[in-house]
Structure 1
Amino acid sequence: MSQVTNPIQACSEIFFKPNGVFAALNVKHNWSWIPFILVITATILPAYVYFNFVDFEWYREIFINANYGDISPNEQENYRNSMTIDTILMFTIVGTIVGSLFINAILAVYFNLVTKSDEQNTNGFTDWFGFTWWIAMPGIISAMIALIVVALATNHQLDPVSLSPTSAAFLFNVSMESEWFGWAQGVRIETFWTIYLAAVGISQWTGIRGNKTYIIAAIPYFLLWGIWGLITAMS
């Protein structure tokens, strides 16, 4: 296991040598600001590039048809008039920051609670909150793929699912009109990488070993997919 001596090295090795990274993070502090900034930026940047490329009038129409197709024409027109590139980008930026902080805080509470009884665990909520940004780093790979997809596009009527090229929605061509679109967008390949990183981190920070680390790491994501899928199926 290689020794990690600085946060820049940790950001590089988290993808391929996570054991050393989490071993270092167990004794180092204030390194998690870098993955936080990287993850947030990687989430926002593809949306910024996409909305400055896409035929916005076309996008606005398919969005309204998919989400507000059952309301009156006057109400649709009100939504249409309120939708601009600037407002969507503002909602994207604010939503990404607030949503990510909220979701990662919940994950941190979960990891803190399920590992609390372990004698080797000396980390508290803030440590696990920092932990969540490190395990979210695979999302940067997805963001890079999304940027490539947009950069290579020649048609400005580019399907918004291109923003999540590692999702089930993209891979199985689930359209925005489908009631399963949101769920399919939420099921992503990199989530399984995140689960792996979480399991590695748990094994480095606690005395928990073996399959139990993967079970602990996977529960939040599979629980979310299951509940979300159940709600979608019943709606």
Structure 2
Amino acid sequence: MNGISNPFQACLHIWFNPKTVFAAVDKHHNWSWIPFFIVMLGVLLPTYAYFQFVDFDWYREFYVAFTAGDVSPAEKEAVLVSLRSQSVYMYSNMFAYCLGYVLLAAIIAGYLNMMTKVDEENINGFTDWYGFVWWTFLPVFITGVVMLLMILIKDDNQTSLYGLQPLSLGYWLGLNETSKWVGLADQFRVELFLSFYFMITGLKQWTRLSILRIYLILFVPYILIVGSSIFLSFYWASA
């Protein structure tokens, strides 16, 4: 296995030799707990740091304008009251982000498990693919590190979370959560394309599927999602 004898080595080697890593992981499915915890760390740390950094009074007003822009003043006040506790809101967000990744990994694993059944030699089941997905999620940790660095060097503490994600197209276009185009721009992120690269490499190692079939399995859903985002962006822009 070319010197990869433990999951910590695999987490380092995946950035420059993912082919060897996925070959090793195919024999050691229990290694996937390590990238799971690394990804969770990459999600939790920047979220915690952000809510220690941000002007929470400003954030409350921003959040209300974003989520309740067209409601009555009494309803806006009710939303503001619900955001009174900074710590409760922070921890609820941290929990929601973690749960979101757990559910997303399950959906992707179920999809890969179903689509790779055409390979008669493939014996991997849902739990194997679930572990596989966490290796492909490792670029999320890089995004988390970048966000932490942005928080450390940022002077303005009246900044949305989206304003701390320089690996996203939306950041370079100057968008934030209130923009009608943010859903579309969010489909173009460095970590997302790195994850696609890891998935392609991993599928080539774990299956005997042709490269064309692998591309179809991975990119058809992505194209549909981007197409839906384009439609919705134009719809809301013209509304």
TM-score by length of 2: 0.91
Alignment of structure 1 residues 140-159 onto 2, 5 Å: 140-159=141-160
Partner of 1:55: 55
Instruction: Please provide the CA RMSD for this pair.
Output: 1.8
Alignment of structure 1 residues 33-182 onto 2, 5 Å: 33-83=33-83, 84-182=85-183
% of aligned pairs identical? 37
Paired with 1:10 and 1:221, the residues of 2 have a C-alpha distance of 27
Paired with 1:229 and 1:152, the residues of 2 have a C-alpha distance of 34
Paired with 1:3 and 1:117, the residues of 2 have a C-alpha distance of 32
Asked if the contact 2:108–2:133 (Cα under 8 Å) also holds between the matched residues in 1, the reply is: yes
Give the C-alpha shift of residue 186 in structure 1. Answer: 4.5
Give the C-alpha shift of residue 114 in structure 1. Answer: 1.0
SS in 2 for 1:173: coil
Partner of 1:2: 2
Paired with 1:141 and 1:2, the residues of 2 have a C-alpha distance of 25
SS in 1 for 2:121: coil
Paired with 2:220 and 2:88, the residues of 1 have a C-alpha distance of 35
Segments ≥4 residues shifted beyond 4 Å: none
Asked if the contact 1:64–1:76 (Cα under 8 Å) also holds between the matched residues in 2, the reply is: yes
Partner of 1:204: 205
Paired with 1:56 and 1:80, the residues of 2 have a C-alpha distance of 11
Paired with 1:138 and 1:44, the residues of 2 have a C-alpha distance of 14
Paired with 2:32 and 2:17, the residues of 1 have a C-alpha distance of 17
Partner of 2:16: 16
Paired with 2:231 and 2:49, the residues of 1 have a C-alpha distance of 34
Asked if the contact 2:121–2:207 (Cα under 8 Å) also holds between the matched residues in 1, the reply is: yes
Q: Could you report, residue by residue, the CA deviation over 1:79-102 in whole angstroms, capped at 9, with x for unpaired residues?
A: 011113223212222212221111
Give the C-alpha shift of residue 166 in structure 1. Answer: 1.2
Paired with 2:58 and 2:142, the residues of 1 have a C-alpha distance of 28
SS in 2 for 1:162: helix
Q: Could you report, residue by residue, the CA deviation over 1:141-194 in whole angstroms, capped at 9, with x for unpaired residues?
A: 111111111100112212321343211221211133212224433531211111
Paired with 1:179 and 1:153, the residues of 2 have a C-alpha distance of 25
Give the letter aligned to residue 59 of structure 2: Y
Alignment of structure 1 residues 186-205 onto 2, 5 Å: 186-205=187-206
Give the C-alpha shift of residue 231 in structure 1. Answer: 3.4
Paired with 1:165 and 1:40, the residues of 2 have a C-alpha distance of 20
Asked if the contact 2:183–2:229 (Cα under 8 Å) also holds between the matched residues in 1, the reply is: no
Q: Could you report, residue by residue, the CA deviation over 1:49-85 in whole angstroms, capped at 9, with x for unpaired residues?
A: 0111111111111221122111001110110111132
Give the C-alpha shift of residue 215 in structure 1. Answer: 3.0
Asked if the contact 1:108–1:129 (Cα under 8 Å) also holds between the matched residues in 2, the reply is: yes
Give the C-alpha shift of residue 3 in structure 1. Answer: 4.1
Structure 2 unaligned segments of length 5 or more: list them.
Answer: none
